[in-house]
């Protein structure tokens, strides 16, 4: 029984549930909510890499999300490009902009970095809003095509789009896990714990921070491109700073700096908000204080609290075990 409950089986079970979800729940609306939640999860994974693991609180990610969405929208609608080519380009463009912004922004530290990125995000929003000839300004972009077919696979139905987004989500989690468990991921964490110390032991902190920032913007771009191709209408609002605060909330509730945090937090908050419809506009009345309480009492969110509980339990058990062994030994000797 215990062997059945290990981590790998848990992941397989979750994946099975995710795959069977559209078949079990024959409800277009629920599927749509789930697709959106998955898209946000991808963006939050991006935010988690730079904010959670590298410890640099970036408040520009709504801007990068919007850049990804607008890049896809403009390349397909105005540029008439093939969907998947535009899709890849959207991610590349976002990451490229991330590189440029990161080069400058990451020279600043802590508070300055948060303020700087907040303002960069706002500038991206203002540019999208004011650059009427390119982005259509307030009116936004309409007629973004749905994802083009890949060989025999087409993405016209809601269910097929669900699987497409799920595929990218699983890919995201896989890639993030590989990064975090690699040496590179360790250097991220080293910088979060102490940038000066990391530099002292020979980590090229600027390079590593830049890498983490670019990867995180690439995920924001991916999420933005998926959003544009799923909703098929985008306006400048998707780049407004409140969106990054939403992402931050998902991340904090789930657990900043944990692998499962973005998934748990986003799904939980999105579903709570959906099931309590009256919360839609006023959700922050409840989630604002929750955010504050979590940061004070459970700074690593739900997943972090669970991990801590599990660790304490194993600690206690090993202690008990060694205690029992010790007593046995004494009895034998005596």
Partner 1 sequence: MDVLFQQILNGLTVGSVYSLVALGLTLVYGILHVPNFAHGALYMMGGYITLIAMTSLGLHYWLAIFCSIIVVALLAVLMERLVFHPLREAPPIHDKIAAIGILLFLEAFAQLVWGADYRRMPTPYGEVINVFGLTFTMQRLLVILGAVVSMILLYIFLKKTIIGATIIAMSQNREGAFLMGINSNRVAMMTFAISGALAAIAASLASPINLVFPGMGHLVILKAFVIIIIGGMGSIPGAIIGGYILGLAESLGATYISSNYSDVIAFALLVIILTVKPNGLFAKGVH
Residue from 25, 92, 107, 153 in contact with partner 1 (CB under 8 A)? 107
Residue from 30, 122, 163, 298 in contact with partner 1 (CB under 8 A)? 122
- Is 115 a binding residue for partner 1 by CB under 8 A? The answer is yes
Residue from 285, 330, 331, 334 in contact with partner 1 (CB under 8 A)? 285
Residue from 281, 309, 314, 334 in contact with partner 1 (CB under 8 A)? 281
Residue from 200, 288, 310, 316 in contact with partner 1 (CB under 8 A)? 288
- Is 119 a binding residue for partner 1 by CB under 8 A? The answer is yes
Start-end of H helices in the chain: 7-24, 28-47, 61-77, 83-105, 110-130, 132-135, 158-181, 183-193, 195-200, 205-231, 241-254, 261-275, 279-297, 301-333
Give the residue from 105, 1, 69 showing the smallest Cα distance to 228: 69
Give the residue from 261, 282, 262 showing the smallest Cα distance to 273: 282
Give the three-class secondary structure for 286.
helix
- Is 272 a binding residue for partner 1 by CB under 8 A? The answer is no
- Is 296 a binding residue for partner 1 by CB under 8 A? The answer is yes
- Is 120 a binding residue for partner 1 by CB under 8 A? The answer is yes
- Is 292 a binding residue for partner 1 by CB under 8 A? The answer is yes
Which residue's CB is nearer to partner 1, number 16 or number 292?
A: 292
Which residue's CB is nearer to partner 1, number 110 or number 156?
A: 110
Give the three-class secondary structure for 233.
strand
Classify residue 106 by burial, with Cβ atoms within 10 Å: 0-12, 13-18, 19+.
buried
Residues 41-70 that bind partner 1 (CB under 8 A): 51, 55, 57
Residue from 20, 27, 110, 142 in contact with partner 1 (CB under 8 A)? 110
What is the four-CA torsion angle of 312, 299, 44, 281, rounded to 10 degrees? 130
Which residue's CB is nearer to partner 1, number 116 or number 188?
A: 116
Which residue's CB is nearer to partner 1, number 290 or number 305?
A: 290
Give the residue from 219, 231, 224, 33 showing the smallest Cα distance to 144: 231
- Is 123 a binding residue for partner 1 by CB under 8 A? The answer is yes
Which residue's CB is nearer to partner 1, number 86 or number 105?
A: 105
Q: What is the CA radius of gyration of the chain?
A: 22
Give the residue from 69, 130, 165 showing the smallest Cα distance to 77: 69
Q: Residues for the chain: how many in total? A: 334
- Is 249 a binding residue for partner 1 by CB under 8 A? The answer is yes
| Interface with partner 1 (CB under 8 A) | 51, 55, 57, 104-105, 107-112, 114-116, 118-120, 122-123, 126, 130, 241, 245, 248-249, 252, 256, 281-285, 287-292, 295-296, 299
């Amino acid at each position: 029984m215990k062997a059945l409950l290990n981590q790998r089986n848990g992941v397989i079970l979750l994946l099975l549930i995710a795959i069977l979800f559209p078949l079990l729940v024959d409800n277009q609306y629920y599927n749509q909510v789930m697709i959106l939640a998955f898209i946000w999860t991808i963006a939050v994974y991006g935010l988690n890499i730079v904010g959670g693991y590298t410890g640099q609180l970036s408040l520009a990610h709504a801007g990068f999300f919007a850049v990804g969405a607008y890049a896809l929208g403009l390349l397909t609608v105005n540029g008439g490009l093939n969907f998947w080519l535009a899709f890849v380009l959207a991610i590349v463009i976002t990451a490229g902009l991330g590189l440029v912004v990161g080069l400058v922004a990451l020279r600043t530290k802590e508070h300055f970095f948060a303020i700087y990125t907040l303002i960069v995000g706002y500038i991206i929003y203002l540019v999208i809003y004011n650059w009427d000839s390119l982005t259509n300004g307030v009116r936004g972009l309409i007629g973004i095509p749905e994802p083009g077919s890949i060989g025999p696979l087409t993405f016209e139905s809601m269910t097929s789009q669900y699987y497409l987004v799920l595929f990218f989500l699983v890919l995201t989690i896989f890639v993030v896990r590989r990064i975090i468990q690699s040496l590179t991921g360790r250097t991220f964490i080293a910088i979060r714990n102490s940038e000066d110390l990391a530099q002292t032991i020979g980590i090229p902190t600027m390079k590593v921070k830049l890498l983490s920032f670019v990867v995180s913007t690439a995920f924001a771009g991916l999420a933005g491109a998926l959003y544009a191709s799923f909703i098929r209408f985008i306006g400048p609002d998707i780049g407004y700073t409140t969106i990054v605060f939403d992402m931050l909330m998902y991340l904090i509730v789930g657990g900043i700096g944990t692998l499962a945090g973005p998934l748990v937090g986003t799904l939980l908050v999105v579903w709570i908000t959906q099931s309590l419809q009256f919360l839609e506009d006023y959700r922050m009345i409840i989630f604002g204080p929750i955010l504050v309480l979590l940061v004070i009492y459970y700074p690593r969110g739900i997943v972090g609290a669970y991990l801590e509980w599990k660790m304490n339990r194993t600690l206690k058990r090993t202690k008990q075990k060694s205690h029992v062994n010790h007593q046995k030994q004494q009895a034998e000797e005596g």
